[in-house]
A and B are shown apart, each in its own frame.
Chain A
């Protein structure tokens, strides 16, 4: 997916700073992953911040880039919640699978 702009014009880019005390690196990466059809993301850490540099695909307008950043911030919140759910439910997911594949016969209609 090329991010080269029209010759002569720089590609549309945005830099988003995310606090590393609030969000984990994994959360940020997962959120950024959802945007790879629109922009490539360069993620690095600088002191207390996770820095996301988005380079948008050719043809992206400024307003579209702004909207994408908004979406990204909303996605961060969702990813954060997802991480919470995943952590909390991991043990019980295993319990359910163990029960599902235990030796007993499944119920059936006569």
Chain B
């Protein structure tokens, strides 16, 4: 019988020596620090252990050693395959860059019969010429869509109320599908509509072309109607009826809803979630207060809003977790963006929280007047008077002019988080993103000073909160894992 070696032969606890692999660390709370690396692995250590680790004082007798090795924070003589695995994971995280631009927003009309308080853009008007997208613009925009290399393309109709220019939607769908016969992309259409004016004709068309509907539901009736006035003050009634009709015609999962958060929403998160559950919607995006319009101009209320929103979010998330514990799947989509980065090797397709920024790369917006914007936020900024993120015009500029525009490239480069002050050394950077439009709007530069940034503050708080929840309760981690699949 041949000899077997003891474990000491392979693993000598006294043999010191390891090298650090790249990572960032940030204080979580008290003396606890979270370590993360660029591929999203994370570990919590007390500060003294962190320092020992960095000073290469840890050895195999420490319980943290194997955790650090397994998650690729250190590498020792015994194994070098960490490099192969880190390289592979890096590649997976960055794969989204290859497939740019996947979201194309067509603002087919600014006209709308609602006059929502937070809307930056819509016009209560019958002037089609002034506020509808022309046929020529639409045609050119479709050409630009297919200049994107992305194998998956989502065309989203927005407004105003896009159904008010239904004929243009018909045309764009037809042109895109015809073009796609040759292109063979995975082509999907969405109409963002208030559902108040939806007809059977609209629904038939959506069914024929497998178009998804996305609507606005801000909460229970009084809150929703207060936020979203229309003639007859019946927005809520109409959207609920519209959801029912649309589901009956298209299928339950073909209709989704988004909320807009206002001051009035902040104390009422439970009721808002209850409303979503009542309407049989299986998830909600707990949106932050919009920084555009009134809020941008008044920094004074910022601190209050910041805390009030975070409490709104925490309370809402807690309620949602309880719903899941009781066996019903209900997803919080904002957390899911961050959790996807924390728990999986993939980068989610959410344009507003990614680095390099999602402007241009993730989305392009074709406005009713032919102007092309790098993102929806860029369009909203223009409505407030600043056309910084206007990349060009469909009638005068080529695809190359637009996608290689200096503004776009500068904004992408300067806001790149891995090289931005504070971001480059922040443990939450892999879970966060760059938002040059927001920082430009609030601080007049693409990067912004992050200590002054609500964007930064909010995301650091959310990351800390999600990490704490998962550490306290493995069942919560399982629930979160089910959301990111």
- Measured CB to CB, the residues of A under 8 A from B are 1, 30, 33-38, 78, 81-82, 84-86, 88-89, 92-93, 95-97, 99-102, 106-107
Contact = CB atoms under 8 A, between A and B. Distances in A.
A36 B87 contact: no
Contacts of B86: 96, 99-100
B285 interface: no
Which of A85, A88, A89, A96 counts the most chain B CB atoms within 10 A?
Answer: A96
A37 B452 contact: yes
A82 B25 contact: yes
Interface of B: 19-25, 27, 50-51, 54-55, 75, 83-84, 86-88, 90-92, 94, 421-422, 425, 449, 451-452
A89 B20 contact: yes
Given A34-B451, A36-B452, A82-B425, A100 B87 contact: yes
B421 A33 contact: yes
A85 B91 CA distance: 23
Given A82-B425, A101-B91, A107-B88, A95 B452 contact: no
B22 A93 contact: yes
Contacts of B50: 81
Given A33-B449, A102-B87, 11 more contacts: A30-B421, A34-B422, A37-B452, A81-B50, A82-B25, A82-B425, A84-B55, A85-B20, A89-B22, A95-B83, A99-B84
A106 B88 contact: yes
Nearest to A98: B87
B80 to A, nearest CB: 10
A34 B13 CA distance: 40
A1 B51 CA distance: 35
B27 A78 contact: yes
A103 B92 CA distance: 14
Contacts of B25: 78, 81-82, 85
B93 to A, nearest CB: 9
A37 B451 contact: yes
A100 B422 contact: no
A43 to B, nearest CB: 15
B92 A85 contact: no
Contacts of B94: 100
Contact of A100 (B22, B24, B91): B91
Nearest to A79: B425
A89 B425 CA distance: 13
B209 to A, nearest CB: 31
A108 to B, nearest CB: 10
Nearest to A34: B451
Contacts of A88: 19-20
A34 B440 CA distance: 19
A96 B51 contact: no
13 contacts: A34-B422, A36-B451, A38-B451, A81-B51, A82-B24, A86-B425, A92-B83, A93-B22, A97-B90, A99-B84, A99-B86, A106-B88, A107-B88
